[in-house]
Structure 1
Amino acid sequence: MQVYEANATRAALPFDRLIATLRERFAGGCEVPARHVHEITSPAGEGGGDLASRRMTSLIMPAWQPGKYYGVKIVNIVPGNAKRGLPGLHSSYLLFDARTGVPLAQIDGDEITQRRTAAASALAASYLARTDAKHLLVVGAGRVAHLLPAAYRAVRPIERVTVWARRPAEAQAMAAQVREAGLPAFASTDLAAACSEADIVSCATLSTEPLVRGSWLAPGSHLDLIGSFTPAMREADDACFEGARLFVDTDEALQKSGDLLVPMQHGVLRADDVRGTLTTLAKGVATGRKNEQERTVFKSVGSALEDLAAAVLVYESSKG
């Protein structure tokens, strides 16, 4: 069995190849059962005194291509790790031969997750953002946010990046890194103004309250919502969906994301307002952007299909 640490995994997943791989896999499909969610709590006296320090949520995310590959990602989320000086999330990916069950590879799950998440947003933008979109606004300054400029540059002629984050120092640091990579980038403290000037607004935060307001978005802009993957999380207000054409990564987004569930509860949004998924876009069944003036919105919650596609790319890249 091959072992791919973080650096090897990252090197095998350049965005141009990863986006093309995701496009092919969404069009071709694979088997993706529901993820398993387990709550694991250590006994009192272990792992710290408070309950948060003793509790871990483990996600098990399988997917397979019959007769080819079977993969499982295990994600462990421990909020109490912050007090230990450790990351709150760790993940690993195991890839098997789907015919024999033979283990093929163990791959860094964090790198897979971060890069496939950014690549999925760029894939959606290849259908939904204007072809001349040049100005990208990134809302957030975490690990996925740092990858978005490079991912979007693989599908659109990005010439300027603006970064907004709750902590201005983090936005400034990220903007400096983007500049070092060769793109003009600036930090902003005025989110309303930054939204009004951007062709693409991409949000990658853990916010539980709307950050972006529909009244701030320019005609013809594309809004990408990454962060809200539970009913309690939101990055966009109801107005972001009014008059916009909405797309999702998978239909599961309608059950998981507060960005969609809350507007649906308010009567602003209906399930049949969704114009397509990454599968229907990749297959050419759904129509993406229709004109230069309409606003588009893409909401993702992640899929084990994306993990499997990335893992197979890592494994096959090393085989020459």
Structure 2
Amino acid sequence: MRVISAQEVSGTLAWPALIERLANTFRQGVEAPPRHHHAMHRKDGEATMLIMPAWEQAGYIGMKMVNVFPQNANAGLPAISGLYILCEGQHGTPLACIDGGALTSWRTAAASALAARELSRQSASSLLVVGTGKLAPMLIEAHATVRPINKVRIWGRNPEKSAALAERFRDRFDCESVTDLETAVAEADIISCATLSTEPLIQGKWLQPGSHLDLVGAFRPSMRETDGRCLTRSEVFVDTYAGAKGEAGDLLQAMDEGALQESDLRAELAELLTGTKPGRSSDEAITVFKSVGASLEDLAAAIEVWEAREDKA
């Protein structure tokens, strides 16, 4: 069994190929039982363990174990760490143990970009990233793969971090750190949020016609990045119905407030990609994509790492 480090994951994957791998896997489908979600209560705050299995009918088998420690920011460490075990499908023999944090970051950003490819206006050229964690630069890279992004704005609770991130991309984009979130939201074609917030950051009244809101962060019922009006004004899409209805705090809290009903969810990614259900209704519509992550995405990304690595060998 090969051990594949975070550096090898990043050195092997490429956004176009990974995004297309995800698209094909969503179209074809895999077996994906509900993920195990375990809260770990600690003196420094709550952490989360996730266990996510998936397998193809006649192909690979995989399982991810990931730990989410929001308090790691205080120690200068990534919030997400873990590992992925990829096995061959005929006999169940393990093939690789892959760094789970890197795999999660790549597949999460790729799924957001895939959704933006299906839902945002084709001419979308300005991107606002809300959050400055490990995922933020990857969201910039991934969205720029599927849309003609030339203007990037970055907002974070720590202005020094957002300024440093903006500096990294200034040679490629018109890229600036911002402190006025309301104005930045109003001026962006795509808004991508990747935070662990438990209070709304984005207000629905700020969203402009034609914009696309990508909600990556809040992956538990107690978390949210938007107020209810963001959803009442928008056409709402999700990565999977099961994940959205079970863990998407933005949606669940809006439902509790009466701002959203399950029937308001337009489609999950598989339905968009197979053409079973349509995407945005018009260029003036506001679209929202809410993801909490799916084991299908991890399996697809792990296969892409394994096969791309083998091709290079």
Q: Same fold (TM over 0.5)?
A: yes
Does the CA contact (< 8 Å) of 1:52 and 1:80 recur in 2? no
For residue 21 of structure 1, what is the aligned residue in structure 2? Answer: 21
Distance (Å, rounded) in 2 between the aligned partners of 1:54 and 1:136: 33
Q: How do residues 279-294 of structure 1 correspond to structure 2 at under 5 angstroms?
A: 279-294=270-285
Distance (Å, rounded) in 2 between the aligned partners of 1:155 and 1:224: 14
For residue 218 of structure 1, what is the aligned residue in structure 2? Answer: 208
Percent sequence identity over aligned pairs:
47
CA RMSD of aligned residues (A): 1.8
Q: How big is each residue's C-alpha offset from its partner over 1:147-194, in whole Å with a ceiling of 9 and x where there is no partner?
A: 1111001110001000011111111111111224x1220111100000
Q: How big is each residue's C-alpha offset from its partner over 1:247-275, in whole Å with a ceiling of 9 and x where there is no partner?
A: 00001212212200111112111101111
- What is the SS of the residue equivalent to 1:229? coil
For residue 190 of structure 1, what is the aligned residue in structure 2? Answer: 180
Distance 1:28 1:197, change over 3 A: same
Larger radius of gyration: 1
For residue 97 of structure 2, what is the aligned residue in structure 1? Answer: 106
Task: In structure 2, give the amino acid aligned to 1:15.
Answer: W
- What is the SS of the residue equivalent to 1:154? helix
2:152 to 146, 161, 167: 161
How many residue pairs are counted as aligned between the two chains?
310
Does the CA contact (< 8 Å) of 2:70 and 2:196 recur in 1? no
2:197 is the counterpart of 1:207: yes
Distance (Å, rounded) in 2 between the aligned partners of 1:250 and 1:149: 23
2:259 is the counterpart of 1:268: yes
Distance 1:56 1:275, change over 3 A: closer
For residue 34 of structure 1, what is the aligned residue in structure 2? Answer: 34
After the TM superposition, which of the residue ranges 26-35 and 234-243 deviates more from structure 2? Answer: 234-243
1:92 to 83, 86, 107: 83
Distance 1:84 1:119, change over 3 A: closer
Shift of 1:288: 0.9
- What is the SS of the residue equivalent to 2:43? helix
After the TM superposition, which of the residue ranges 53-62 and 301-310 deviates more from structure 2? Answer: 53-62
Does the CA contact (< 8 Å) of 1:61 and 1:74 recur in 2? yes
TM-score by length of 2: 0.94
For residue 240 of structure 2, what is the aligned residue in structure 1? Answer: 250
For residue 45 of structure 1, what is the aligned residue in structure 2? Answer: none
Distance (Å, rounded) in 1 between the aligned partners of 2:117 and 2:74: 41
After the TM superposition, which of the residue ranges 20-29 and 140-149 deviates more from structure 2? Answer: 140-149
Does the CA contact (< 8 Å) of 1:92 and 1:106 recur in 2? yes
Distance (Å, rounded) in 1 between the aligned partners of 2:105 and 2:47: 20
Structure 1: segments with no counterpart, 5+ residues: 42-50
2:108 is the counterpart of 1:117: yes
- What is the SS of the residue equivalent to 1:308? helix
Task: In structure 2, give the amino acid aligned to 1:10.
Answer: S
Does the CA contact (< 8 Å) of 1:57 and 1:76 recur in 2? yes
Distance (Å, rounded) in 2 between the aligned partners of 1:53 and 1:168: 24
For residue 44 of structure 1, what is the aligned residue in structure 2? Answer: none
